[in-house]
């Protein structure tokens, strides 16, 4: 019996020893096949890639969680102006009684963590707050090209000079508002503070723009943006009280407005021209996008013996743009989408996640490029009768993304955009 146990343990130990060894299977079987039967991967980067700069028509920017304000004179992209509008609601029912004395009113906002400012951030930025004259509706969609003049009648509520570099995460940016607003609150018709609906008819909200700046500032809505009313009662003047009007709820409209002037940009004559130059230009905030074409991709269909393993689109960043990255950083991530037969948006299978969301690719700061896996897309064009339509390259989160980037095109002789194919040629 003991001999059988020893034999059994010996077999088990031998089993674990065999399967715990590390084997390098590289080259296994090569000595069993003739050289002409071994499949050796080949690389090709000669497929023509064309990039064209186009304007973004407009973007829906209502119900955002971040707002942008400022003016920027980018030496490459020209002039950009950003402003925003906010609608507020009540934290609770409130009644302004005769014995209330308003001490001051402020608009309080925090800057967005991580990417709060863009451009020349060490200069003063003058912020101006106007009262909305037109009511906004949370169930409506508002777009980035909405004209600001249609929202307000020039009633200035307050202003303040801020330095983007001095803003912190813990201390809100405070813009003092006129006490005249407080007086109107006190003299509001009865019931104006009973609920959000009637209050938003009485006080429609604010519009904020900047002047005299050369930077864009991103402010956060979801971390706290509110109008703070400080007051006291005449019967207890030393007791300081406050009331807040918030704009974080879903029934508050929050929208961004953008305008771009590309007349002094490097690419003023290239936009929407359909002519490929040496560079292509992408900018967020409803700025520019890039169309990508592979005009001769179908010629590979004649190669019946081509077995495609991988197709990688490599888009190098222009060094002239990257040299300005201390003030104008490259876009952190870009998104590539397809186009259906009606010209509408079509997601690429490579970048659809299991949860149904859509992802992009990040900027490679070592190689100074963006790299996209297009294996499924190229395969579908070559072998599944998919139409070879243009792809669109844009900035992820373009409705609140301040970044931009300049890319080499397929025409650039210094460092061209290219698609690298990894494949084998079947000999039989």
Domain boundary among 219, 252, 285: 252
Strand order in 306-316's β-sheet?
Answer: 42-44, 418-425, 306-316, 369-373
Q: What is the pLDDT of residues 207-225, one digit of tens each?
A: 999 988 899 999 988 777 8
236 and 374 in a single domain? The answer is no
Determine, yes or no, domain membership for 92.
yes
User: Is a pLDDT exceeding 60 seen at residue 15?
Assistant: no
Question: Do strands 206-211 and 279-283 pair parallel, antiparallel, or not at all (unpaired)?
Answer: unpaired
Let me know whether 77 and 47 are in one domain: no
pTM of this prediction?
A: 0.85
Q: Are residues 168 and 188 in the same domain?
A: yes
Residue 332 exposure: Cα atoms within 13 Å on the Cβ side? 8
Go through 99-117 and write b for each residue having 16 or more CB atoms within 10 A of its CB, e for each that does not.
ebebeebbbebbbbeeebb
The reply to whether 75 and 48 lie within a common domain is: no
Are 153 and 208 in the same domain?
yes
Question: Do both 74 and 207 map to the same domain?
Answer: yes
Of 252, 283, 301, the domain-final residue: 252
Confidence of residue 206 (pLDDT cuts 50, 70, 90): very high
Q: What value does the mean pLDDT take over residues 389-395?
A: 96
Answer yes or no: is pLDDT of 303 > 70. no
H or E, element range at 313: strand 306-316
Q: Total domain count for the chain?
A: 2
In a domain, 214, yes or no: yes
Residue 392 CA neighbour count, 13 Å, CB half: 17
CATH code of the domain covering residue 329: 2.60.120
357 and 296 Cβ atoms separated by less than 8 Å: no
Do 151 and 212 fall into the same domain? yes
Model pLDDT for residues 89-125, shown as the tens digit of each residue:
888 777 777 788 889 999 999 888 777 889 988 888 9
Q: How many Å apart are CA 195 and CA 192, to the nearest integer?
A: 7
Report CA 230 to chain centroid distance, whole Å: 37
pLDDT band of residue 36 (cuts 50, 70, 90) is: low
Cα(141)–Cα(35) distance, rounded to whole angstroms? 64
| Element (DSSP H or E) covering residue 202 | helix 196-202
Is the residue at 61 inside a domain?
no
Q: How confident is the model at residue 5 (pLDDT cuts 50, 70, 90)?
A: very low
Q: Of residues 337 and 428, which shows the higher confidence score?
A: 337
Do 336 and 219 share a structural domain?
A: no
Is residue 290 situated within a structural domain?
Answer: yes
25 falls within a domain = no
For residue 332, pLDDT over 70 is answered with yes
Annotate 10-29 with DSSP letters as a single string.
HHHHHHHHHHTS----TTTT
**Same-domain check for residues 83 and 211:** yes
Q: Which residues of 232-241 are buried (b: 16+ CB within 10 A; e: fewer)?
A: beeeeeeeee
Q: What is the average pLDDT value for the chain, to the nearest integer?
A: 85
If one compares 38 and 201, the residue with the highest pLDDT of the two is: 201
Residues 306, 163, single domain; the answer is no
Please check whether residue 154 lies inside any domain of the structure. yes
In a domain, 48, yes or no: yes
Confidence band (pLDDT; 50, 70, 90) for 27? very low
pLDDT bracket for residue 201 (50, 70, 90): very high
Mean pLDDT over 173-179 rounds to: 93
Q: Which tops the pLDDT comparison, 41 or 152?
A: 152
pLDDT(1) > 50 = no
Q: Which residue has the tokens 């590539």?
A: 336
Are 95 and 233 contained in the same domain?
yes
Q: Which of 201, 226, 252 is the last residue of a domain?
A: 252
Question: Is the pLDDT at 85 greater than 90, yes or no?
Answer: yes
Residue 29 has pLDDT above 50, yes or no: no
Q: What is the pLDDT of residue 14?
A: 40
| pLDDT band for position 49 (cuts 50, 70, 90) | very high
Residue 428: per-residue pLDDT: 52
- In terms of Cβ atoms closer than 10 Å to its own Cβ (0-12, 13-18, 19+), residue 119 is buried
Domain extent, residue 314, equals 42-56+267-425
Please indicate, yes or no, if residue 12 is contained in any of the structural domains: no
Q: Quick one: 386 and 281 in the same domain?
A: yes
Mean pLDDT, to the nearest integer, of 314-334? 92
């Amino acid at each position: 019996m003991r001999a059988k146990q020893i034999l059994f343990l010996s077999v088990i130990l031998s089993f674990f020893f065999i399967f715990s060894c590390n084997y390098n299977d590289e080259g296994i079987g090569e000595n069993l096949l003739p050289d002409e039967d071994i499949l050796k991967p080949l690389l090709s980067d000669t497929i023509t890639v064309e990039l064209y700069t186009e304007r973004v028509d407009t973007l829906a920017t209502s119900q955002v969680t971040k707002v942008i304000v400022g003016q920027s004179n980018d030496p490459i992209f020209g002039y950009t102006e950003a402003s925003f509008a906010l609608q507020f609601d009540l934290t609770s029912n409130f009644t302004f009684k005769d014995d209330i004395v308003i001490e001051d009113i402020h608009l309080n906002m925090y800057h967005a963590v991580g990417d709060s400012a863009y451009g020349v951030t060490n200069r003063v930025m003058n912020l101006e707050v106007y009262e909305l004259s037109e009511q906004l509706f949370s169930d409506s969609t508002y777009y980035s090209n909405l004209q600001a003049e249609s929202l307000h009648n020039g009633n200035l509520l307050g202003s303040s000079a801020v330095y983007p570099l001095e803003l912190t995460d813990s201390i809100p940016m405070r813009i003092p508002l006129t006490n005249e607003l407080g007086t109107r609150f006190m003299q509001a018709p009865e019931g104006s503070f009973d609920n959000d609906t009637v209050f938003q008819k009485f006080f429609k909200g604010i519009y904020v723009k900047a002047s005299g700046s050369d930077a864009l500032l991103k402010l956060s809505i979801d971390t706290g943006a509110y109008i703070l009313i400080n007051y006291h009662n005449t019967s207890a003047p030393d007791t300081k009280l406050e009331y807040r009007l918030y704009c974080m709820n879903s029934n508050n409209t929050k929208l961004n407005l953008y305008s771009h002037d590309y007349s002094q940009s490097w690419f003023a004559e290239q936009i929407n021209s359909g002519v490929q130059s040496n560079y292509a230009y992408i900018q967020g905030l409803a700025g520019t996008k890039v169309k990508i074409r592979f005009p001769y991709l179908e010629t590979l269909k004649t190669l019946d013996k081509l077995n495609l393993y991988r197709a990688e689109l490599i888009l190098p960043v222009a060094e002239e743009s990257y040299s300005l990255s201390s003030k104008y950083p490259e876009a952190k991530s870009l998104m590539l989408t397809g186009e259906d037969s009606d010209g509408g948006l079509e997601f690429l299978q490579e970048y659809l996640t299991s949860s149904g969301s859509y992802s992009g690719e990040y900027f490679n700061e070592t190689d100074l490029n963006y790299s996209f896996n297009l294996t499924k897309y190229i395969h579908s064009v070559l072998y599944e009768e998919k139409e070879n339509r243009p792809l669109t390259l844009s900035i992820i989160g373009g409705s609140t993304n301040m970044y931009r980037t300049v890319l080499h095109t397929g025409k650039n002789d210094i460092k061209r955009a290219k698609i690298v194919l990894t494949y084998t040629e079947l000999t039989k």
